[in-house]
Amino acid sequence: MAVVDDNPLTGQLPEEVLLKNAPLIRVLAQVRFPSILSIEDKGFVAPFQESIRDIYPILQPEQTGGVLLGTQGFTQIWRFIDNSGNWRVSLASDFLALETTTYSSRSDFLKRFERVLFALSEHINPQIVDRFGLRYINRLLQQDIVDLSKFVRPEIAGIITTGFEEQINQMISEALFKFPEGEDIILVQWGLLPAKATIAQGVVEPINEPSWVLDLDMSLTERRKFDVQILMPEAQKFAERIYTFFRWVVTTEFLRRFGGEL
């Protein structure tokens, strides 16, 4: 199977190759909406919890703090977690997110996301969407970093494969692409992180060794009516376009290395 050569912003969706040992460390979908202060109240959130509790039975409330204009404030976040600890729904006054560290397929993830969006619509009823996005994060370690030139396009591998990569402590590149047909954007970050470093607190967990990351984040920031029937086709489109970009980045050797059957 050849490397995908089409423009990843406009090219056709390639046939999906399932990777048995995919280096995908987190997938996250999020919808943001104007603040609903009642979400701070556990009584208001209880019906939402009941509607998803069969899959996400563990509740772990959190409060995040910050200082704004000299005033200390706290944001209540309700975390609903499955029994494995690998799937989590997060609900706050201005967003809902679904994330997993054990992604198996596009269809499974989107089916789960649709369910929590319907629960949000029925029990929280946000009227407006401010931002909608989907994010896939991959991480390579050890020998895979040494062999990076075999696994990704030269434009992406860059200076890390020039022969003095052992002297590079950190190198992160970033590119923001706007799609020709609309307001959708995709933010791509990639590069080498030293031990105990991250590109996004709470999303990419720091680890005790160097790593190479590929972070693909597609979103639409446009205020519009909240409608699950509109959001789910957008989520499907985002997932497919992110996969198209991912396949443009990686080589056939990458697919084989991580268990793809070609």
Residue range 104-142, pLDDT digits in tens: 999 999 999 999 999 999 999 999 999 999 999 999 999
| DSSP assignment letter at 217 | E
Domain that holds residue 182: 24-257
Q: What is the pLDDT of residue 164?
A: 58
Beta bridge partners of 221: 131
Q: Does residue 8 lie in a domain region?
A: no
- pLDDT grade for 199, boundaries at 50, 70 and 90: confident
State the pairing for strand pair 58-59/71-81: antiparallel
- For residues 32 and 129, the answer to whether their CB atoms sit within 8 Å is yes
- pLDDT grade for 166, boundaries at 50, 70 and 90: low
Compute the mean pLDDT over every residue in the chain, rounded to the nearest whole number: 90
Q: What is the pLDDT of residue 197?
A: 87
- pLDDT grade for 73, boundaries at 50, 70 and 90: low
Q: Percentage of the chain with pLDDT > 90?
A: 72
109 vs 74: which has the higher pLDDT: 109
Q: Does residue 112 lie in a domain region?
A: yes
Each residue's pLDDT tens digit, 206-256: 899 999 999 999 999 999 999 999 999 999 999 999 999 999 999 999 999
- pLDDT grade for 67, boundaries at 50, 70 and 90: very low
Query: Torsion angle of alpha carbons 156, 161, 162, 167, nearest 10°?
Result: 110
Q: Does residue 14 lie in a domain region?
A: no
Q: What is the pLDDT of residue 58?
A: 98
Q: Is residue 91 predicted with pLDDT exceeding 90? A: yes
Q: Is residue 261 predicted with pLDDT exceeding 90? A: no
In whole angstroms, give the CA distance from residue 46 to residue 61: 12
198 vs 127: which has the higher pLDDT: 127
Beta bridge partners of 212: 140, 192
CA 113 to chain CA centroid, nearest Å: 13
Q: Does residue 18 lie in a domain region?
A: no
Q: Does residue 195 lie in a domain region?
A: yes
Q: What is the pLDDT of residue 163?
A: 61
**What's the structural domain count of the chain?**
1
Q: What is the pLDDT of residue 71?
A: 47
Q: Which long-range contacts (CB under 8 A, 24 or more apart) does 7-12 make?
A: 8/241, 8/244, 8/245, 8/247, 8/248, 8/249, 9/177, 9/179, 9/180, 9/186, 9/241, 9/245, 10/180, 11/244, 11/248, 12/244
Q: Is residue 68 predicted with pLDDT exceeding 50? A: no
Q: Does residue 15 lie in a domain region?
A: no
Q: What is the pLDDT of residue 27?
A: 97
Q: Does residue 17 lie in a domain region?
A: no
Q: Where are the beta strands (DSSP E) in 48-197?
A: 58-59, 62-68, 71-81, 87-92, 95-100, 128-141, 171-178, 185-193
Q: Does residue 249 lie in a domain region?
A: yes
Q: Is residue 103 predicted with pLDDT exceeding 90? A: yes
Each residue's pLDDT tens digit, 33-43: 999 999 999 99
Q: Is residue 169 predicted with pLDDT exceeding 80? A: no
